[in-house]
Structure 1
Amino acid sequence: MRAWGGEQVQEAVAGCTATLRTVADRDWTGVNAGRLEWSCHRTALHIASDLIAYAGQLAGRAQDAYVPFDITLDEGTDNAGLLHVIETTGALLAATVRVTPPDVRAWHPYPFRSADREGFAAMGIAEVLLHTHDMAEGIGIPYEPSEDLAESVLTWLFPHVQPGPAAWPTLLWATGRGELPGRAPVTEWRWCNNLVVPAERLTLTGVRPAAARDLRLGGDGGFDWIEGGPYEGTREAAGMAVKAYETGVHRPEFGLFVLVRREDGRAIGGMGFHGAPDEDGRAEIGYDLVEGARGQGYATEALRALSRWALARDDVRTLFATVDLANTASQGVVTRAGFKQVSEGEEEELAYELRRA
């Protein structure tokens, strides 16, 4: 899967400054940025502040809150100077994303209290694209970023939003900035970084729609797999996640997770849900491991961690899994994770269940 992050941040910033430089001689202080209550000048400063804040979160490895700093402009800074600040802070975020290891996560409030380097890159790009649109709308000039950038923001930050006919209008609609035929107006919104669930030797890393699509098509999904991976079950689960995303029913916290070893950052398998819990709070869980990672307790460890996370939620009461009658190894995994056999299913499968205490 193609690396995503620093290059796209710089592309977004370049498009922003090229657009706004054509109107740098106008009054930005007395004009509101589109539907915002902020002036165009304040909005441009907000872009720069977000870019440097995201760079600071990653570089400082912040874990509990935003790093307590901000930027201020020198007295007398004109619009051209402000654009230079945006270029500079964008370059700092791009550089930070490039040198940050893939397993590093830093604090961000929405929705799971952290984001990785790709998440911070996507948030920076979203701020640039959307607020450049706001300013252009307020000043009265055209602006439209590349479809690739807009689609990347949607697949990285809006996995819960069904794709529309085109990415840019969909992103504007999803953030309350436009209309989309057949969809109600959006009045409140949040983006959604991927979830990670820690285990003793593993990190269960939530798979974004773009990565799931790559896995389904035979790619690596952006993960460094051990030899023989990913296994066929992970690719099938990725296809289920893509289908859910494309039909607008994807709940990212109830999707696919890739199991990544902490000791070396290598991916060894996949685990996840077949969908969101039903009205009775029941959710099905499945998993597979690359052959070279089997027999070492990884699947049991991951299943315990994911089950513990799920059953701590108010909307999950019961987890269940089905295992082939001949697959004694997998039967051992679910049993060690606390699941109880409840019935013999069809097609020589055994059904197992784990209830909230």
Structure 2
Amino acid sequence: MRPINGDDVIKAVASCSAALRTVLDRDWRAARAGRLEWDCHTTAFHVAEAFIGYAANLAGRAQDAYVPFELTLDEGTDNAGLLHVIETTGALLAATVRTAPPGVRAYHPYPFRSADRVGFAAMGIAEVLLHTYDIAEGLGIPYEPPADLAESVLAWLFPHVQPGPAAWPTLLWATGRGELRGRDPVTEWRWQNNLVIPAERFTLVGVRPAVAHDLQLGGDGGFDWLEGGPYEGTREASTYLMKAYEAGVHRPEFGVFVLVRHEDGRAIGGIGFHGVPDDDGRVEIGYDLVEGARGEGYATEAVRALTEQALAREDVDLVFACIERDNTPSQRVVDRAGFTRATVEEERIAHEEHGLEGGLLLYTRR
């Protein structure tokens, strides 16, 4: 797993070009594209539309809808000309990804209504890989893209999908284009860009599996950390996120988030949940800050923002935190964030029935 960039978009387009140049003499309008309802010509044009649409939204910083324009082909454009349009619009997306600042997000509807530069690159790569496969299937030629591109698309856009024995068959299965042994067929699917939650002084940026993988290995996850970061709790949480991803039970809404400060773009800490809500709608929260960011109220602000995001959901009734008895600063954090100390009976039940470790205090917020 590695970061996706503009070079990967170019690599994906080259893979498409190499396959489709072998069938430029065929009638793309007469052949249905794999399992799609579109013909191969329409599908190829859709790839170019996706490229230019993603590039426009990212370059124009669109926030509420796609930039209002359409791509059209000149009358009489042949297959070679259409392939050139794909290559050109792919190059435009790659250039936009390369030049966009790291924190910039723009409109995309699924599922959280925005994507960053890596998300737009990954979506562009997904479009061209999958639709080249559709076209190739419709025209009866083989196609398989570079394995690292398929693996990156899964790690950046399909955090809810358990990795399979090989990336490309898994991506085909996850998008309803193939079978995977031991798994039910997929009939409906969406990819997922990462969730971001705004706060007053920073943004909580959802950590994707590819980022968590880098963090657990000692990397920076692509963030510009304040000196001393990321703290050990963020790395440990990333390890748990990867375990959930590999088991196929990761849900991004209940994953790990990095606090990225507005004033300078620096990452100052991590916060997240210890898993998905249980059957009673209870979910545990945890957090840490880089030492240089402590004492400024950042932790309280982060806990409040993430807790309110969770409690707004129908599947969450209670958010709780388990804190060591001698960790007074952390107790103050949750207290200021609206949590209350559990009753003696609630703590007894937590210890006896839910495995709360001895010596830990239970704080809750509904």
Report Cα offsets for 1:9-41 as digits up to 9, x if no partner: 111001101110111111101011111111111
Number of the residue aligned with 1:333: 333
Cα 1:270–1:172, aligned 2, differ >3 Å: closer, same or farther? same
Contact kept, 8 Å, 2:323 with 2:361, in 1: the verdict is: yes
Give the whole-Å Cα distance in 1 for the aligned partners of 2:17 and 2:69. 24
In the alignment, is residue 273 of structure 1 matched against residue 273 of structure 2?
yes
Question: Which one is further off, 285-294 or 345-354?
Answer: 345-354
Number of the residue aligned with 1:114: 114
Give the whole-Å Cα distance in 1 for the aligned partners of 2:134 and 2:358. 57
Give the whole-Å Cα distance in 1 for the aligned partners of 2:44 and 2:357. 61
Number of the residue aligned with 2:149: 149
Report Cα offsets for 1:94-114 as digits up to 9, x if no partner: 011111111111111100111
AA of the residue aligned to 1:238: S
Report Cα offsets for 1:151-175 as digits up to 9, x if no partner: 1000111000000000000000000
Where in structure 1 do 4 or more consecutive aligned residues deviate above 4 Å?
none
Number of the residue aligned with 1:27: 27
In the alignment, is residue 82 of structure 1 matched against residue 82 of structure 2?
yes
User: Which stretches in structure 2 are left out of the alignment for 5+ residues?
Assistant: 348-355
Contact kept, 8 Å, 2:334 with 2:363, in 1: the verdict is: yes
In the alignment, is residue 168 of structure 1 matched against residue 168 of structure 2?
yes
AA of the residue aligned to 1:354: R
C-alpha deviation, 1:2, in angstroms: 5.4
Give the whole-Å Cα distance in 2 for the aligned partners of 1:304 and 1:36. 45
Number of the residue aligned with 1:258: 258
In the alignment, is residue 320 of structure 1 matched against residue 331 of structure 2?
no
Contact kept, 8 Å, 1:55 with 1:96, in 2: the verdict is: yes
AA of the residue aligned to 1:351: L
C-alpha deviation, 1:144, in angstroms: 0.4
Q: Secondary structure at the match of 2:135?
A: helix
Number of the residue aligned with 2:358: 347
Give the whole-Å Cα distance in 2 for the aligned partners of 1:88 and 1:126. 17
Number of the residue aligned with 1:202: 202
Number of the residue aligned with 1:8: 8
Give the whole-Å Cα distance in 2 for the aligned partners of 1:158 and 1:4. 14
Give the whole-Å Cα distance in 1 for the aligned partners of 2:208 and 2:153. 11
Contact kept, 8 Å, 2:2 with 2:152, in 1: the verdict is: no
C-alpha deviation, 1:66, in angstroms: 1.1
Q: Secondary structure at the match of 1:22?
A: helix
Q: Secondary structure at the match of 1:226?
A: coil
C-alpha deviation, 1:3, in angstroms: 4.3
Contact kept, 8 Å, 1:32 with 1:38, in 2: the verdict is: yes
Report Cα offsets for 1:73-98 as digits up to 9, x if no partner: 00111100001000000000001111
Contact kept, 8 Å, 2:2 with 2:210, in 1: the verdict is: no
Give the whole-Å Cα distance in 2 for the aligned partners of 1:103 and 1:219. 19
**TM alignment of 1:214-225, pairs within 5 A:** 214-225=214-225
Q: Secondary structure at the match of 2:319?
A: strand
C-alpha deviation, 1:148, in angstroms: 0.6
Contact kept, 8 Å, 1:257 with 1:270, in 2: the verdict is: yes
Number of the residue aligned with 1:298: 298
C-alpha deviation, 1:346, in angstroms: 3.5
Question: Which one is further off, 338-347 or 304-313?
Answer: 338-347
Contact kept, 8 Å, 2:224 with 2:266, in 1: the verdict is: yes
AA of the residue aligned to 1:212: A
Q: Secondary structure at the match of 2:23?
A: coil
User: Which stretches in structure 1 are left out of the alignment for 5+ residues?
Assistant: none
Root-mean-square deviation (CA, aligned residues, Å) is 1.0
Instruction: Give the fraction of aligned pairs with identical amino acids, expressed as a percent.
Output: 75
AA of the residue aligned to 1:231: Y
C-alpha deviation, 1:347, in angstroms: 3.0
AA of the residue aligned to 1:245: Y
C-alpha deviation, 1:138, in angstroms: 0.6
In the alignment, is residue 311 of structure 1 matched against residue 319 of structure 2?
no
Report Cα offsets for 1:236-267 as digits up to 9, x if no partner: 00000000000010001100001110111111
Question: Which one is further off, 113-122 or 335-344?
Answer: 335-344
